[in-house]
Amino acid sequence: MHISSWKKPLRENKPLFNRGLSFWGGALSGREPMREKLEQFRSYLFLIPGLFFLMLFTYLPILWSSWLSFNRWNLLSPKPKFAGWENFVELWHHDVFWLVMKNKFFFVTISIFPTMFLALVFAILIDERLKGRVYYIYSLFYPTLIPMAAAAMLWVYIYSPNLGILNILLAELGITKLGWLGSSETSLWALIIMTFWKNLGFFMLIYLAGLQNVDRELYEAAYIDGAGWWRRHIKITFPLVGPTSLFVLVTAIILTFRVFDQIHLMTEGGPGNSSNVVVYYIFENGFKFFDWGRATSLTTILVCILLTLTLIIFGIFGKRITYTAD
Amino acid sequence: MATVTFHDVTKRFGNTTAVEEFGLDIQDKEFVVLVGPSGCGKSTTLRMLAGLEKSTEGTIEIDGRVVNNVHPKDRDIAMVFQNYALYPHMTVYKNMAFGLQLRRFPKNEINRRVHEAAEILEISELLKRKPRELSGGQRQRVAVGRAIVRKPSVFLFDEPLSNLDAKLRVQMRGEILKLHQRLQSTIIYVTHDQVEAMTMGSKIVIMNEGRILQVGKPIEVYDHPENMFVAGFIGSPAMNFLEAKLISKDSNLRVDGGTFLLSVPNSKEKTYSQHTDKKCFFGIRPEHIYDREFLKEYDSRNVFTARVELIEPVGSFVILQIALGNDTIVAQVDPHTQAEVGKEIELVVDMEQMHLFSTAPPHQAI
Ligand SMILES: Nc1ncnc2c1ncn2[C@@H]1O[C@H](COP(=O)(O)OP(=O)(O)OP(=O)(O)O)[C@@H](O)[C@H]1O
Ligand SMILES: [Mg+2]
């Protein structure tokens, strides 16, 4: 009798004092928490299919290859055998490993900031245009659309020492022809330029979307305040596309670290490893030298580097960025 | 110290004419309000003055200097935007200092001016905050602050209060007026709210479809609207318009609307007599129609009876909607009126306040 006369007012009050009272009401009736748990359970249920595939094709392979990287596993010992740090120690003493690492970091640091900067500048220029926008967007985005294999072939022709348009142009200008892909001095540069061309449009498009969040009135206010074109964008656009830049930075680092196709198709890491980089080196170890243990330890190193970089970047910039929406 | 002059300024965007032959003289220290319905070209006019748009034709002068080709930063103007346009990543201080820094003011001068402006606007405690940490009213103040640190000779406001709630709007209205007295500079203020225009402007400019319809002091425009648009736009509730005819009866000029017959006062007979027997629009404001019960003296010729359709008590007065033939008119009467919906009521019209407009567009006042 007491309980039923208690419950009633509580029930009636519920919509008004939703949180607190439903808790008590729940404790009394013993039904509400169950329901909430069921809700939570159901939302997890929806994640399961996605998580399953992520598990199967991402997390498990990462764990598996991390494990393998501590094993000796090559043509001479075709069964994985635990070997501790052996693979890593070997790599440490291997010159090519350091060359490949140096090449990769050079590749990333040289290409990322110009790519980001120019992508943003192009995005701004296109954003300010009223006419012919679509035309400009497509012409910049086109390289991203075509398959890497086709792009690589195209650039092989462009870089061709005697018939390539680049050398013909250089000759016209009276500058000595370059070896491009065939010379160990220029091969990495040639790949950097080609990758820059391939990715620019992609990042430009992301920036273009980011720019839509910047209020036009801000530019007008700055214009009246007396800020010229550069100042306007350095003081207003650059800080305000911060969230986009963060995304572009992380994506660009990962994309650039992963560069493989064009190297495989254009230089095969040569000449003399001058354009060899991590992912291609992994491929070489795994599928040319059949040293899978070493390939997996390289993979582990790469994953660690990318994870660390991403964490550092988010740690440094994640909280400092101004999000325009309030 | 600045006068502003527009000489027949026209602005076209492709085929649409946003502003047409806009001519206006603005005196030094004047508070001019541009008012008109949405899309009538108010913002465009202001933006041309600011230098954000180029005029298609005509010239704009600030202090006698033609500024058509002068960069906004050299026009000695400051603008307050409708959505404030505060830089979201800068603190309040930096927002206000930005324009001065670009003009290479010395640091201590910037500091002094920002603090001075912050004090005037009572936002000194907010200087370290970012715009998103401010309320709407505070953002508004910062936006105004950013304009006043520059000490420009002309301030431009584009609907600065439209994002505020009603109460805050009334308060900011007063503050902007006080600011005007204090700064002694020319202000050009855009709004689509006629109440704002009436209460703030020392001169108001009523626009419609890109053209100026009337310029004058608020009370002049209220008392002597030059055409039906202005008459209907200024004043709230809006003026009633009824089709009518001027007739002469018993040696007296009358307004005959079929359902009512009102007599023109002696003071106006002379002007209107030349239009006898002509059709026209008769205009009378709701506040000039009275409930007979509450009048001690009235002209018995100007009483009419009509049925009440709707009663809206506002507090200090009551708004009645009254059926008159096929028309509905609005009257603003004493709050203690005994009017009842569906019943007849006796009303008195103050014909000293009557208006007549021609039936032909643009319906000029007769
Ligand atoms: N950049 C533009 N391109 C094309 N047409 C425009 C442009 N800016 C304004 N217009 C047109 O010019 C006319 C006047 O616009 P304006 O913004 O000056 O109106 P407004 O009086 O400020 O209206 P509101 O009260 O809605 O702000 C409108 O018909 C508008 O569509
Ligand atoms: Mg406007």
Q: What is the CATH number of the domain that holds B277?
A: 2.40.50.140
B137 in contact with ligand 1, CB cutoff 6 A = no
Q: Which of B72, B82, B87 sits opposite A223 (nearest CB)?
A: B72
Q: Give me the sheet containing B327-333, strands edge to edge.
A: B289-291, B344-349, B303-313, B318-324, B327-333
Half-sphere exposure of A1 (CA within 13 A, CB side): 0
Q: Please indicate whether, in this complex, the C-beta atoms of B73 and A235 are within 8 angstroms of each other.
A: no
Closest C-alpha to ligand 1, atom 28: B39
Q: Is the dihedral of CA A178, A184, A185, A189 positive or negative?
A: positive
Q: Please indicate whether, in this complex, the C-beta atoms of A222 and B78 are within 8 angstroms of each other.
A: no
Q: Do the domain assignments include residue B66?
A: yes
Structure-token pair, residue B309: 């359709």
Q: Please indicate whether, in this complex, the C-beta atoms of A326 and B79 are within 8 angstroms of each other.
A: no
Q: Is residue B129 located within the same domain as residue B49? A: yes
Strand pairing category for B252-256 and B261-263: antiparallel
Question: From the CA of B52, how many Å to the nearest CA of chain A?
Answer: 7
Q: Do the domain assignments include residue B364?
A: no
Chain pair A-B, CB pairs under 8 angstroms = 58
Q: Which bound ligand lies closest to the C-alpha atom of B34?
A: 1
Q: Do the domain assignments include residue B12?
A: yes
Of B215, B233, B251, the domain-final residue: B233
Q: Do the domain assignments include residue B110?
A: yes
Q: Is residue B313 located within the same domain as residue B198? A: no
Q: CA-to-CA distance for A285 and A214, rounded, in angstroms?
A: 48
Cα-Cα-Cα-Cα torsion A121, A126, A129, A134, nearest 10 degrees, comes to: 170
What's the mean pLDDT in B301-308?
88
Interface test with A, best of B86, B102, B154 (most A CBs within 10 A): B102
Pick from B9, B15, B16, B212 the residue to mutate for probing ligand 1's pocket: most ligand atoms within 8 Å of its CB: B16
Asked whether B308 and B320 are in contact (CB, 8 A), the reply is yes
Nearest CA in chain B to A241: B89
Question: From the CA of A136, how many Å to the nearest CA of chain B?
Answer: 23
pLDDT at B130: 92
HEC string of chain B?
CCCEEEEEEEEEECCEEEEEEEEEEECCCCEEEEECCCCCCHHHHHHHHHCCCCCCEEEEEECCEECCCCCHHHCCEEEECCCCCCCCCCCHHHHHHHHHHHCCCCHHHHHHHHHHHHHHCCCHHHCCCCHHHCCHHHHHHHHHHHHHCCCCCEEEEECCCCCCCHHHHHHHHHHHHHHHHHHCCEEEEEECCHHHHHHHCCEEEEEECCEEEEEECHHHHHHCCCEHHHHHHCCCCCCEEEEEEEEEECCEEEEECCCCEEECCHHHHHHHHCCCCCEEEEEECHHHEEEHHHCCCCCHHHEEEEEEEEEEECCCCEEEEEEECCEEEEEEECCCCCCCCCCEEEEEECHHHCEEECCCCCCEEC
Q: Give tens-digit pLDDT for B23-56.
A: 999 999 999 999 999 999 999 999 999 999 999 9
Q: Do the domain assignments include residue B362?
A: no
Closest C-alpha to ligand 1, atom 29: B39
Closest C-alpha to ligand 1, atom 24: B38
Radius of gyration of chain B (CA): 25
Closest C-alpha to ligand 1, atom 31: B39
Query: What percentage of chain B has pLDDT greater than the value 70?
Result: 100
Tell me if chain A has a CB within 8 Å of the CB of B136.
Answer: no
Q: Is residue B71 located within the same domain as residue B92? A: yes
B191 in contact with ligand 1, CB cutoff 6 A = no
Q: Which of A222, A226, A324 sits opposite B88 (nearest CB)?
A: A324
Strand-pairing partners, residue B284, are B240
Q: Do the domain assignments include residue B19?
A: yes
What's the mean pLDDT in B306-331?
90
B42 in contact with ligand 1, CB cutoff 6 A = yes
Residue B146 with chain A: CB contacts under 8 Å: 221
Tell me if chain A has a CB within 8 Å of the CB of B94.
Answer: no
Question: How remote is the CA of residue B207 from the centroid of ligand 2, in Å?
Answer: 12
Q: Is residue B223 located within the same domain as residue B284? A: no
pLDDT at A27: 43
Instruction: Pick the closest to residue B8 from B212, B184, B206 (CA basis).
Output: B212
Q: Is residue B85 located within the same domain as residue B16? A: yes
Q: Is residue B192 located within the same domain as residue B263? A: no
Q: Give tens-digit pLDDT for B131-147.
A: 989 988 899 899 999 99
- Banded pLDDT at B361 (limits 50, 70, 90): confident
Q: Is residue B26 located within the same domain as residue B152? A: yes
Closest C-alpha to ligand 1, atom 6: B13
Q: Do the domain assignments include residue B133?
A: yes
Of B184, B218, B233, the domain-final residue: B233
Asked whether A222 and B99 are in contact (CB, 8 A), the reply is no
Tally of domains within chain B: 2
Asked whether A222 and A214 are in contact (CB, 8 A), the reply is no
Nearest CA in chain B to A225: B99
**Tokens 């999000």 — which residue?**
A323
pLDDT at A21: 39
B38 in contact with ligand 1, CB cutoff 6 A = yes
Q: Please indicate whether, in this complex, the C-beta atoms of A215 and B99 are within 8 angstroms of each other.
A: no
pLDDT at A76: 81
Closest C-alpha to ligand 1, atom 19: B39
CA separation, residue A40 to residues A33, A46, A163 (Å): 11, 10, 65
pLDDT at B54: 92
What's the mean pLDDT in B102-121?
91
Is the backbone peptide bond immediately before B237 cis, with ω within 30 degrees of 0?
Answer: yes
Residue B98 with chain A: CB contacts under 8 Å: 222, 225, 227, 235
Q: CA-to-CA distance for A253 and A262, rounded, in angstroms?
A: 17
Tell me if chain A has a CB within 8 Å of the CB of B87.
Answer: yes
Structure-token pair, residue B294: 């509450």
Note the Cα A111 to chain centre separation in Å: 13
Q: Is residue B163 located within the same domain as residue B275? A: no
Contact partners, residue A298, CB within 8 Å, separation at least 6: A69, A91, A97, A278, A281, A282, A285
Q: Is B78 exposed, middle or buried (0-12, 13-18, 19+ CB in 10 A)?
A: buried
Mean pLDDT in runs of 10 for chain A (326 residues)?
38 40 42 77 87 89 87 82 84 87 90 92 88 84 91 90 84 82 85 91 92 89 90 91 89 88 85 84 87 88 90 81 53
Strand-pairing partners, residue B205, are B34, B215
Q: Do the domain assignments include residue B201?
A: yes
Question: How remote is the CA of residue B37 from the centroid of ligand 2, in Å?
Answer: 9
Structural domain boundaries enclosing B44:
4-233
Contact partners, residue B6, CB within 8 Å, separation at least 6: B22, B23, B24, B45, B49, B58, B59, B60
Tell me if chain A has a CB within 8 Å of the CB of B13.
Answer: no
B83 in contact with ligand 1, CB cutoff 6 A = no
Task: State the CATH number of the domain containing residue B123.
Answer: 3.40.50.300
Q: Is residue B179 located within the same domain as residue B276? A: no
Q: Is residue B251 located within the same domain as residue B198? A: no
Q: Is the dihedral of CA A303, A308, A314, A317 positive or negative?
A: negative
Asked whether B48 and B12 are in contact (CB, 8 A), the reply is no
In the stretch 218-247 of chain A, residues with CB closer than 8 A to chain B read: 218, 220-227, 231, 235-236, 239-240, 242
B152 in contact with ligand 1, CB cutoff 6 A = no
What ipTM did this prediction achieve? Answer: 0.82
pLDDT at A321: 65
Q: Is residue B163 located within the same domain as residue B107? A: yes
Residue B113 has pLDDT above 90, yes or no: yes
Question: How remote is the CA of residue B38 from the centroid of ligand 1, in Å?
Answer: 8
Question: From the CA of A228, how many Å to the nearest CA of chain B?
Answer: 9
Tell me if chain A has a CB within 8 Å of the CB of B85.
Answer: yes
Of B233, B260, B290, the domain-final residue: B233
Question: How remote is the CA of residue A320 from the centroid of ligand 1, in Å?
Answer: 38
Q: Is residue B227 located within the same domain as residue B253? A: no
pLDDT at B97: 94
